[in-house]
Amino acid sequence: MEVIQYLSGLAIPFSVLIILIYGLIEKKRVFDIFLEGAKEGLEIVFKIFPNLIGLFVAIGALRSSGILDLVIQWLYPIISLFEIPTQIMPLAIIRPISGSASMAIATDIMKINGVDTIIGKVASTIMGSTETTLYTIAIYTGVVRIKKTRFVLAAALIGDFVGMMASVIIWRIMS
């Protein structure tokens, strides 16, 4: 374990050293290239900033308004049919929208239910097997100005649903 910690501590300085040596060998102006990349990065941040603000406001409103609880009550017949634990439903609903909000919900789930319970394990697996789909699509398509995302969105949401259902089924079998 100490070897892994030592190597992980050296990873970034070693990577920087390799880049600098490569730049010297190829006679590239490494710092100028770095500055150009930083400038492009800032331009991208300014392009995606309005999308981020909109998503954060929408997520905050969704969490504080009680709409999430109403959606879970509305979905309860389907949830009970598939024997999905209702405790993970806030995570299942928020995960495609926001990574930070879903991390907060997953943390709450694990504090309340424990990490070694089936609910904690399902929540952990959902966090690892799904993506913040709406966020990712909004950011990437917003930057390159793609307007038609209908099929991308449908495929990505199906993938998230499969990941969530697989999490529940696998932990039901494993427990």
- For residue 100, what pLDDT is reported? 79
Predicted pLDDT of residue 119: 93
**Residue type, position 161, single letter:** F
pLDDT value at 1 more than 70: no
CA distance 52 to 22: 36
Looking at per-residue pLDDT, the higher value among 110 and 83 belongs to 110
- pLDDT in the model for residue 150: 74
Please report, for residues 46, 61, 111, 135, the alpha-carbon distance to residue 64 in angstroms, rounded to integers and kept in the order given.
28, 5, 20, 19
Question: What confidence score (pLDDT) does residue 125 get?
Answer: 93
- Residues 169 and 101: their CA atoms lie apart, in Å, by 24
What are φ and ψ of residue 145, in 5° steps? 60, 45
* pLDDT at residue 50 in the model: 81
Q: How many domains is the chain partitioned into structurally?
A: 1
What's the pLDDT at 71? 86
Predicted TM-score (pTM) of the model is: 0.65
- Quick one: which of 93, 96, 121 has its CA closest to 109? 121
Looking at residue 117, what is its pLDDT? 92
- Average of per-residue pLDDT across 164-168: 90
Mean pLDDT within 147-160:
84
Question: What pLDDT digit, counting tens, does each position of 45-79 carry?
Answer: 887 788 778 777 877 787 788 888 888 889 888 88
Flag whether pLDDT at 156 surpasses 80: yes
> For the segment 111-150, what is each residue's pLDDT rounded down to a tens digit?
999 999 999 999 999 998 888 888 788 777 777 777 777 7
- List pLDDT tens digits, range 90-105: 899 889 888 878 888 8
Give the domain extent around 113: 2-174
